[in-house]
Amino acid sequence: MTLRALRTLRECDAIFCEDTRVTAKLLARYEIRKPVHRFDQHAQKKTSGFFFDLLHDGKHLVLVTDAGTPGVSDPGNLIVARVAAEIPEVRIESIPGPSALTALASIAGMPTDRFLFLGFLPLKKRRRAVLGRIASSDVTVFFYESPHRIVRTLRELAPLLGDRTVVLGRELTKLHETIYRGTAASIAGKLEAGMVKGEIVVGIAGV
């Protein structure tokens, strides 16, 4: 949590978030008391009217996510686009903080002058094509994955990647940060030995 982020939370009129319980814990830790409203991918339609009413009243609003950054594989891009289109006089600011993507990129030991970020991989439709795209990429590839699916994904990638270097980061920038380096097959074997928890980002060296 940066000083700028704390100042923004303290000075705003209301906070919109994915999970009010998660955000409440964060605010309690820093003794911040502000109105908090749910604004995840399921509640956006119901809450957006209220959100825009507050903006039209000149209120200073903050959009946060449970982990990561709004709009980067998290809710936020649609509401930002709508605000920019419908109320262009409203100033939209980015309050950057820790990012699992850039955190792993900085310690992966892979070229990052150019890289491909895929967000979360598709579950069914286009999954095979995306896995093939990863295998044939000549630049470093990064993607996010659920702890419940990571072993399956690595097993699917193993025959496509062979001995290509893979770096996996779990819970980056947090207390239980863990880094795995090896092949897709070897890392899958390590993860199968225990229960996988937390946010995961994967980096794969290009061809």
92-117: pLDDT as tens digits = 999 988 789 999 999 999 999 999 99
Domains in the chain: boundaries: 3-86, 100-204
- Contact between 72 and 19 (Cβ < 8 Å): no
Q: Which pLDDT score, from 0 to 100, does residue 180 have?
A: 97
Tokens of 131: 């896995």
What is the pTM (predicted TM-score) of this model?
A: 0.84
CATH class of the domain defined by 100-204: alpha beta
pLDDT in tens, 109-168: 999 999 999 999 999 889 999 999 999 999 999 999 999 999 999 999 999 999 999 999
**Number of Cβ atoms within 10 Å of the Cβ of 108:** 24
Sign of the torsion angle spanned by Cα atoms 170, 172, 175, 180: positive
CATH for the 3-86 domain, from 3.90.1280.10, 3.10.20.600, 3.40.190.10, 3.40.1010.10: 3.40.1010.10
Residues 6 or more apart whose Cβ sits within 8 Å of residue 51? 16, 37, 39, 61, 79
